[in-house]
Amino acid sequence: MNKKQIYILATGGTISAQGDEGKTLGYTNGVFKLGSIIKTLKGIENISNLDGEQIFNISSEDMCIDKLLILAKRINELSKLDSIDAFVIMQGTDTLEESAFFLNLVVKTSKPVIITGAMRPATANSADGPNNLYDAIVVASNKDAVGKGVLVVFSDYIISGRDVQKVDTFRCQAFNGKEFGCCGYVHDDIVNFINKSLKPHTINSEFNIDNIKSLPKVGIVYFDADLDSDIFDYYISRDYKGIVIAGSGSGMISKRWKNKILEMTKNSIAVVRSSMAEGGSVDRDNLDEEYCTIPAYTLTPLKARILLSIALEKSNSYDYLKSVFERY
C-alpha cells in the first residue's frame, strides 16, 4: 500500500498545551510545537508520511476571520501540489466548529481536510491529543474521506464540518453533529463512514476567498426579553453589515426589538434569525416577510455568522442571502 502524504497545519490550542504534571486545569497553550507533538504518535509511520507547519500558535479564541482566511488560502495553495494527499489541522477546541464550517465553505479541494484538537493538555494523565491526532491522520489517509468536505475527527467520531458543535467544557467526548449524527467512526486503523452531509461544500460551494482580504463584519446578539434594542446601535455605529440573532425558541424576538430590526434591514443590514435552542430548526415565518429577516434553519448562531459573513461578501441582496441560507 502506498502511504499517503499528510500535511499538518498546527495552530495552537490545548493539544499543544503544558500544565501541572498529570492535571487538566490551568495549563499554557502552545508550548509544544508540531514537531514534538508528532513524535508522541506511536506507529503513525506505518500509516502515512507526515509533513507540516506551525501556521499559528494561538488559543482558538483568537482564531478570527482574518486568521481563517490565511488558513484557507494556505490550504488552497498547498492543495494544488501532487505531493500532498490530505490535510490535518490542529486547533483549540473552543472555536473549532466555526473553523470547520468556514473551511468547509471556502476550501477548494476534494482532498480530505480533517480538523482535530484536544480537551486535555499534553501533560495530563488523560491527554487525548495523541489519540485524536492519530485518528485524524488515519481518516485523512483513507480514500473514503475524499470529497466529503471538511471533517472533524474527535474522540473516535467523524463529524461533518457543517454540523459539528462543541457540547462539553471538559469531557473528552466534547463534540457531536447535533441531531444529524456523525459521519462515521475511527477505531485504530479502521475507518467506517456511515453518513454524509448533503449540503454544498468545498469544490461545490459558490464561495471563493482566494482574492479576498477581509470579510464584512457580522455580529451575534443573544436575545432576552428585557434586553433593550439599543444594543444594536453599537453594531450600526461600527459598520456591521449583518446581525445574527440568537433568538428564543424558533428564532423569536420581543416587540421592542422588531422596529429596530426593520430599521436595520431597511438600511441594508442583513438580519438572520437563529435560535439559542440546541435542536430543531428556525424555519420561514411571517415575521421574515414583515421585517425582511432571514431564517437560519438548522445552523447555530455561530455557524450562521460564518455563512452570513461569507455570503455578504458576494452580495447583500435579500433574495440572494435568503437563498444561501436555504441551500447551505
Residues designated catalytic: 14
Residue pair 298/322 in contact by the 8 Å Cβ criterion = no
> What's the min distance (Å) between Cβ of 166 and ligand DGL?
9
Least separation, in Å, of the C-beta of 187 and ligand DGL?
A: 23
CB closer to ligand DGL out of 13 and 301:
13
- Residue 236 corresponds to which amino acid? I
| Piece of the chain touching ligand DGL by CB under 6 A; list 35-43, 53-61, 103-111, 240-248 | 53-61
Question: For ligand DGL, which residue of 24, 48, 60, 298 counts as binding (CB under 6 A)?
Answer: 60
From 8, 10, 13, 145, residue interacting with ligand DGL (rule: CB under 6 A): 13
Choose the stretch contacting ligand DGL; rule: CB under 6 A; options: 55-63, 231-239, 288-296, 310-318: 55-63
Dist. CA 319–CA 246, nearest whole Å? 21
Determine which residue in the list 10, 19, 48, 59 makes contact with ligand DGL, applying CB under 6 A.
Answer: 59
First to last CA, the chain: 37
Q: How many Cα atoms within 13 Å fall on the side-chain side of residue 278?
A: 8
Q: Residue 16 or residue 265: which is nearer to ligand DGL going by CB?
A: 16
**Which 131-170 positions form the footprint of ligand DGL (CB under 6 A)?**
none
Instruction: Give yes or no for residue 130 binding ligand DGL (CB under 6 A).
Output: no
E strand or H helix at 53: strand 48-54
Least Cβ distance, residue 174 to ligand DGL (angstroms):
7
Q: Which is nearer to ligand DGL, 36 or 315 (CB)?
A: 36
Of 52 and 247, nearer to ligand DGL (C-beta) is 52
Would you count residue 119 as binding ligand DGL (CB under 6 A)? yes
How far is C-alpha 138 from the chain's CA centre?
Answer: 21
- Concatenate the DSSP letters of all residues of 140-165 into one string: HTSGGGTTS-EEEEETTEEEETTT-E
Q: Tell me the C-alpha distance between 5 and 233, whole Å.
A: 50
Minimum gap (Å) between residue 99 Cβ and ligand DGL: 10
Cα gap 39→34, rounded to integer Å: 9
Please, what's the b/e burial string for 130-160 (b: 16 or more CB within 10 A of its CB; e: otherwise)? bbbbbbbbbbbbbeebeebbbbbbbbbbbbb
∠ CA 264-270-271, nearest 5°, is: 80
Binding string, residues 24-43; x marks residues near ligand DGL by CB under 6 A: -----x--------------
Which residues from 70-99 bind ligand DGL, rule CB under 6 A?
92-94
CB 253 to ligand DGL: min, Å: 30
One-letter amino acid for residue 123 of the chain: T
CA separation, residue 205 to residues 102, 197, 202 (Å): 11, 13, 5
Whose CA is closest to 104, among 202, 199, 200, 11? Answer: 202
- Number of amino acids touching ligand DGL (CB under 6 A): 11
Closest to ligand DGL by CB, 14 vs 141, is 14
Q: Based on CB atoms, which residue is closest to ligand DGL, 117 or 184?
A: 117
Residues that bind ligand DGL (CB under 6 A): 13-14, 29, 59-61, 92-94, 117, 119
